[in-house]
Amino acid sequence: MIQNADILALWNAGVAAVQGRSSVNLALQSHDVDRPDLVISVGKAAASMACAVHDVFGELPTLVVTKYDHTQDAPQHARIVESAHPVPDEASLAAGSAIQDAIAGSPKGSHLLFLVSGGASSLAEVLPDGMTLAELSKETQTLLASGKDIHAMNAQRKEISQIKGGKALAGFKGRKVTTLAISDVQGDDVGIIGSGIAAAPASHDFEYSSHIVASNQIARAAAVEKAGTSVISNSEDMYEDVVTLAPKIAARLRAAKGGIYIMGGEPTVVLPPNPGLGGRNMMLAAMIAREIKGTVGIRVLIAGTDGTDGPTDATGALVDGQTWDASGHLAIEQANVAPWLDAKDVLIRSGPTGTNVMDLLIAEVRSS
């Protein structure tokens, strides 16, 4: 076992292995992707992914749709539309129209390279006739608070959207579409990532191929390689509600032998009315801290690989047996765990990472 293992370094290694620029660059070569005529990149990692295409092919007509303040890696020549996440705003509608127009304007014989990563469901939208942005926002907030997993949420989003679930590419008149995706969903299905914004329609006349360029599995494998022989287990099984997951994970770690434990996935959380600040990772971290209170020799880092967790500037937290105190009960009850964890000085702030492959939990158990 590696004594005093730096588990943040393991998390960083996992995230670095799935960074958008390097992952797309590798995919372009390994899948022998030919030069596109148009690039559309949408999602939290859109700027980084588009940069890789510029690295390989040089300047091309490029549309980048990404979250506010996530543009630092975008090619200088690209048209950039920044919009809101996780609740769509007016800019999301502008982004949806821009995607629709770019696809519709592709001439016969053209090749579209469609890059997609998590967050696209909110960042770009075209509403059905009769629906307002206010109605969409209210429905999205209800969905986010419901505790549904990403598959269920994105299925509902596809029903509403005029560009999700293969509808965007229904207007493509060119020769070929190549989709490269960073997966933020269990099962790595392009039809679920970004609610299927870069998926092919059921019936189409163009050549279509899709490839997953980065995933939670790849991130976890990189963390395992960094940790070496100290890794006891590596699993992707964090798909339950945080209320169920926290005691399960804590019990497992309390009974575990010394070493590193790596888990991936995307927990769900049911939010109260008018929730405070924090996301699913912070909520899970706070609940695990409660479960391991007073335990010596356990440290747990849980953080989103995209660099943000909920409407905050942090991506997760690193907790141990000394983190918890009774004031945490109210923070959990009000879903206001970010300020509580921040006061404990245990929040992780990475900034935008240029990727999004769900969440990583890395725990260190030290033998007594």
Task: Please check whether the two domains, 7-14+217-365 and 19-214, share a CATH topology.
Answer: no
pTM of the model as a whole: 0.94
Strand 359-365 and strand 298-304: pairing? antiparallel
Measure the CA–CA gap between 92 and 243, rounded to whole angstroms: 32
- Predicted confidence at residue 165, as pLDDT, reads 97
The answer to whether 262 and 223 are in contact (CB under 8 A) is yes
| Tens digit of each residue's pLDDT, the chain (368 residues) | 333 349 999 999 999 999 999 999 999 999 999 999 999 999 999 999 999 999 999 999 999 999 999 999 999 999 999 999 999 999 999 999 999 999 999 999 999 999 999 999 999 999 999 999 999 999 999 998 899 999 999 999 999 999 999 999 999 999 999 999 999 999 999 999 999 999 999 999 999 999 999 999 999 999 999 999 899 999 999 999 999 999 999 999 999 999 999 999 999 999 999 999 999 999 999 999 999 999 999 999 999 999 999 999 999 999 999 999 999 999 999 999 999 999 999 999 999 999 999 999 999 999 86
Q: Where are the domains of the chain?
A: 7-14+217-365, 19-214
The answer to whether 12 and 316 are in contact (CB under 8 A) is no
Q: Which CATH number fits domain 7-14+217-365: 3.10.129.10, 3.40.50.2000, 3.40.1480.10, 3.40.50.1820?
A: 3.40.1480.10
Q: Which tokens belong to 347?
A: 């929040």
Measure the CA–CA gap between 7 and 223, rounded to whole angstroms: 9
If you classify domain 19-214 with CATH, what class do you get? alpha beta
| CB-count burial class (<10 Å; 0-12, 13-18, 19+) for 324 | buried
Phi-psi region of 212 (alpha: psi -120 to 50; beta: other; left: phi over 0): beta
- Predicted confidence at residue 321, as pLDDT, reads 97
Q: With helix as H, strand as E and coil as C, how does 39-80 read?
A: EEEECCCHHHHHHHHHHHHCCCCEEEEEECCCCCCCCCCCEE
Within 10 angstroms of residue 310's Cβ, the number of other Cβ atoms is 23
Measure the CA–CA gap between 40 and 57, rounded to whole angstroms: 14
Which residue bears the tokens 């960074």?
19
- Predicted confidence at residue 367, as pLDDT, reads 82
Measure the CA–CA gap between 300 and 18, rounded to whole angstroms: 22
- Predicted confidence at residue 368, as pLDDT, reads 67
Instruction: Say how many CA atoms lie within 13 Å of 368 toward its Cβ.
Output: 6
Dihedral sign, Cα of residue 351, residue 354, residue 360, residue 365? negative
Within 10 angstroms of residue 236's Cβ, the number of other Cβ atoms is 18
